[in-house]
Amino acid sequence: MPVLRAALRRLTIFVGTVLVASLVIFLIIQALPGDVAQVTLGVGASPDDVDALRQKWGLDRPLIIRYFEWLGGMLHGDFGASYLKGQPVVSQITPRLAVTLWIVGLSIPLSLLVAIPMGLFSAMMRRRWSGALINALSHVGLAMPVFFLGVLLTMVFAVHLGWFPANRYVPITKSVSQWASRMVLPVMTLVLVQGCFLARYVRAGFIDVLGEDYYRTARASGWTKWRGLVRHGMRNMATSLVTVVGLQISSLLVGAVLIEEVFVLPGLGSLLIDAVGSRDLVVVQGVVMLLVFAVLLINFLVDLAYLWIDPRLRRGAA
């Protein structure tokens, strides 16, 4: 089974990189200047008190032991407890992660839904003014900062038209309709920006297909321009798009912090920024590890997706 072997090889690489990444993150966090015990107790605290606190938190033990404790804990879903609040990190992360995952999870498929027709149209019509217009539009979208678009949409839809509320987040568990009305603008913002970004790759991919011999074969077989391009272009275009979408998801997991700031949503990114601000390093470490893990996991899934999309890779040669 060459497919299985190729998949296993990628799995090994994935696990290896996760381990290396966890070590690097741990070391970087340890190397951050500023002693957390000192910061917690304030500048005026006596050295004895600081030492006592360090001992209490186990900060006086060797690095390597602390690393393995942290790693082992995470395997059981235990990310440690916040220095400041004493709460387990997991209980802080979980509700925040849900918010971010909703935003990312909704906006990625929706932006593909925008990008694929947009790219298909502007590729096929690239010599006409209509295609050029769509292309120009995607250029503007590409240059648009999400936080600016977010502010613009809020001004129009929340302030001026009053269609959607602009105030605090409501969890989906409390009220589905209230939650939904608060998700519309943030998700719409991301979909517009990401959609324009992805549309450029979709367009380039389809333009490549238009010049391919197999597209000419499909046309000679009796496919019309558009249907032939969809039928024989989609999979081939997707090979170049999968990587971009993967990168897009990873950058959005953190990048969503901008949208969370604009719309005052309690997501993972804002947790990270708050934790950095208050030097709550256990939280920082946990969130960063989670994000990096997610990024590597996405990379791994992208690799697997290639095995499915491109039959040439299944031989396990790659």
Partner 1 sequence: MKKLTLVIGLIGSGLVVLAALVSLVWTPFDPSKVSGIRYGSLTWPHILGTDALGMDTASRLMVGAQTTLLVGILAVAIAALIGVPLGVFVGMGHKTLGEILARGSDILYALPALLLAILLASALGSSVTTASIAIGIATIPVFQRMARASTLTVMSQDYILAAQVSGTPTSVIALRHVLPNIAPLLGVQAAASFSMAILAEAGLAYLGLSAPKTVPTWGRMLRDANFLTQPMQAVIPGIAIVIAVMGFNLLGDGVRDYLDPRLQEVR
Partner 2 sequence: MSLLDVKDLSVSFGRHRTRVLDHACLSLEPGQRLGFVGASGSGKTVLASAIMGLLPENAHVEGSIVFQGQELTALTDRVFSAIRGRNLSMVFQEPMTALDPTMKVGRQAAELIGLHRETSTMATRQRVEQIFDRVGLDHASRIADAYPHELSGGQRQRVVIAMALMNNPAMVICDEPTTALDATVQAKVLSLLDEELAGVNAACLFISHDLGLVSRICTDVAVIHAGKIVERGSAAQVFMNPQHPYTAGLVATASIDAVEPGTRLPVIEDFFDPRQEQ
Positions that interact with partner 2 (CB under 8 A): 127, 212-214, 216-225, 231-232, 235-236, 239, 309-312
Q: Check if the beta carbon of residue 165 is closer than 8 Å to that of residue 182.
A: yes
Residues 6+ away with beta carbon under 8 Å from 98? 171, 172
User: What distance, in Å, lies between the first and last C-alpha atoms of the chain?
Assistant: 15
Task: Verify binding: residue 143, partner 1, rule CB under 8 A.
Answer: yes
Burial (CB count <10 Å: 0-12, 13-18, 19+), residue 134: buried
Tokens 């593909």, residue? 112
Q: How many CA within 13 A on the CB side of residue 228? A: 18
Which of these segments, 46-54, 95-103, 140-148, 226-234, binds partner 1 (CB under 8 A)? 140-148
> Which positions from 99 to 138 touch partner 1 by CB under 8 A, shown as an x/- string?
---------------------------x-----x------
Nearest approach in angstroms of CB 131 to partner 2 is: 11
Residues 6+ away with beta carbon under 8 Å from 44? none
Task: Verify binding: residue 165, partner 1, rule CB under 8 A.
Answer: no
In the chain, how long is the greatest CA-to-CA distance? 84
> Which positions from 3 to 42 touch partner 1 by CB under 8 A, shown as an x/- string?
----------x---x---x------x--xxx---------
Which of these segments, 2-10, 43-51, 86-94, 296-304, binds partner 1 (CB under 8 A)? 296-304
> Which positions from 176 to 215 touch partner 1 by CB under 8 A, shown as an x/- string?
-------------------------------x--xx----
Closest by alpha carbon to 112, among 201, 2, 177, 12? 201
Residues 6+ away with beta carbon under 8 Å from 169? 99, 179, 182, 263, 264, 265, 266
Q: Which residues contact partner 1 by CB under 8 A?
A: 13, 17, 21, 28, 31-33, 126, 132, 139-140, 142-148, 151-152, 154-155, 159, 207, 210-211, 246-247, 250-251, 253-255, 257-258, 261, 269, 272-273, 276-277, 279, 284, 288, 291-292, 295-296, 298-299
